[in-house]
Amino acid sequence: LLSLGTGTTSEFDKTHTAEETAKWGALQWMLIIQQMTEAASSYMTDYYLSTVFQDLHSQNNYLRVQENALTGTTTKADDASEANMELLAQVGENLLKKPVSKDNPETYEEALKRFAKLLSDRRKLRANKASY
C-alpha cells in the first residue's frame, strides 16, 4: 500500500500566549479545531495502517509519503500558480532526500525505488502464472 498524503503545516509547532488566544473569535477557534482534527485523522490513519502491516509482518508493503512542514503558499490547495507549482516540486525533491522516519533511515527516494521494484516483481510473477 502506497499512501500519499497532501502534506501538513508546521502550524502546530507555534505557541500562542493566553493574551493572543483571548482575542480569538469563534471563527479562529473553529479553524484551529478543524486543523487539529484533520491532522489527528491523518496521523491516526497512518498509525493504524502501519500497525496492521507490522502485525502481519508486512511492514515493507506499506509506505506513507507526506511532508509534515509545509509553509507559505505551499499550504494552499487552491494555488495552482506556476510559482507555487515550482515550490511544490522543490518540496517533493527535498522530501525524496529525507529519511522515512526516525526509526527508518532509508530515504523516501530509496523506499520508493524499493517499493516500485516490489510492485514490478509481483506483476511479473502474476503475468507468468497467467501464461500457464
- Structure confidence by residue, pLDDT tens digits, 15-69: 778 888 889 888 888 877 777 777 677 778 888 888 999 899 988 888 889 887 8
Alpha-carbon distances of 84 from 7, 65, 72, 98, rounded to whole Å: 14, 20, 9, 21
Mean pLDDT of 69-88: 88
- In this prediction the pTM is 0.67
Q: Which three cell numbers stand for residue 92?
A: 517533493
Give the pLDDT score at 9. Answer: 65
**C-alpha 29: how far from chain center:** 25
